[in-house]
């Protein structure tokens, strides 16, 4: 049994059909990357999984348990086990780094102040930012904000980590750093990772498996080597258009250094 199972999942917003029939298995401990064009439903998939959105049909199971429910309270145990690094990090600008990182801990766990402080310190240490604990998000670079977002996710010690575009908009050095952190987190904590990205060189670096969403379906999935050999033109166009030969130069050109 896979750790996470999407079965015949349907999701639409009014007339806009995002998923017609989504089927995907994610095994415990693997790093799965979701690729696909803008607006194809990558973020929606992650939000369905943590219950921020509800399916219109089909089932999603986590550890054998069906998680789609109409009762908000039923999601609390799931949100203790699955953490998400949101697209754009989504830190609270009016809160210090400390308060941002401890947010999920305070919401989901009853910890003594000393334990709370220790967990915050450890999570920030894991991303190399223990010195920023008293700073405000506005004091940080974009790459650092993403790392604080990751520390906030790590602080709850999740079994599953969802990363929505963790490297988009970052310079090459910060991108490498985030990719290394994703790999390191997986190695250290044995977490199952689901990563959404446009960046094929990151995808090739961090993934055990890659799945591509296109117009309501998963149109390809496989290991990095298998995906590199897919001949479907929709997959080829995406991979070839998003995997620059000289990654650093291309990234610099795109983001102007």
Ligand X SMILES: Nc1ncnc2c1ncn2[C@@H]1O[C@H](COP(=O)(O)OP(=O)(O)OP(=O)(O)O)[C@@H](O)[C@H]1O
The stretches of the chain forming alpha helices (DSSP H) are 42-49, 76-81, 97-108, 113-126, 142-155, 172-189, 200-206, 224-229, 233-242, 247-255
Assess 39 for contact with ligand X (CB under 6 A).
Answer: yes
String of contacts with ligand X for each residue 82-101, x by CB under 6 A: -----x--------------
According to the binding rule CB under 6 A, does residue 44 interact with ligand X? Answer: yes
Closest distance to ligand X from the beta carbon of 214 (Å):
10
* Selected binder of ligand X within 41, 51, 137, 166 (CB under 6 A): 41
Residue 38 sits in the site that holds ligand X (CB under 6 A): yes
Question: Does 43 sit near Mg ion (CB under 5 A)?
Answer: yes
**Beta carbons of 143 and 172 less than 8 angstroms apart:** no
DSSP for 16-41, please give it: EEEEEEEEEEE-TT-EEEEE--TTSS
Stretch that binds ligand X, among 35-43, 69-77, 109-117, 139-147 (CB under 6 A): 35-43
Residue 43 touching ligand X (CB under 6 A): yes
- At 205, is the secondary structure helix, strand, or coil? helix
CA 10/CA 216 separation, integer angstroms = 8
149 binds, among Mg ion, ligand X, none (CB under 5 to 8 A by kind): none
Residue 5 has φ and ψ, to the nearest 5°, of: -130, 125
Report how far Cα 11 is from the mean position of its chain's Cα atoms: 20
CB of 22 to Mg ion, least distance (A): 15
Q: Which residues of this protein are in contact with Mg ion, per CB under 5 A?
A: 43
Q: Where does this chain bind ligand X (CB under 6 A)?
A: 13, 16, 18, 36, 38-44, 87
């Amino acid at each position: 049994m896979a750790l996470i199972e999407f079965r015949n999942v349907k999701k639409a917003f009014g007339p806009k059909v995002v998923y017609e029939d989504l089927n995907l298995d994610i095994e415990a401990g693997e790093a799965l990357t979701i690729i696909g064009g803008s607006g194809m439903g990558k973020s929606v998939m992650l939000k369905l999984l943590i219950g921020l959105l509800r399916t219109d049909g089909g089932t999603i199971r986590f550890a054998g348990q069906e998680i789609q429910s109409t009762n908000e309270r039923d999601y609390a145990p799931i949100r203790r086990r699955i953490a998400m690094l949101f697209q754009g990090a989504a830190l609270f600008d009016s809160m210090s780094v400390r308060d941002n990182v401890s947010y999920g801990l305070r919401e989901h766990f009853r910890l003594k102040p000393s334990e709370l402080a220790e967990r915050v310190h450890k999570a920030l240490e894991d991303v190399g930012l223990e010195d920023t604990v008293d700073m405000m998000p506005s004091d940080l670079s974009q790459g650092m904000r993403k790392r604080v977002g990751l520390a906030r996710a790590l602080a709850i010690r999740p079994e599953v980590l969802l990363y929505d575009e963790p490297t988009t908009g970052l310079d090459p050095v910060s991108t490498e750093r985030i990719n290394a952190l994703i790999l390191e987190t997986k190695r250290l904590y044995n977490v199952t990772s689901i990563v959404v990205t446009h960046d094929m060189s990151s995808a090739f670096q961090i993934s055990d498996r890659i799945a591509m969403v296109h117009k309501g379906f998963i149109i390809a999935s496989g290991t990095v080597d298998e995906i590199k050999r897919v001949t479907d033109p929709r997959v080829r166009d995406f991979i070839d258009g998003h995997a620059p030969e000289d990654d650093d130069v291309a990234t610099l050109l795109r983001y102007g250094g």
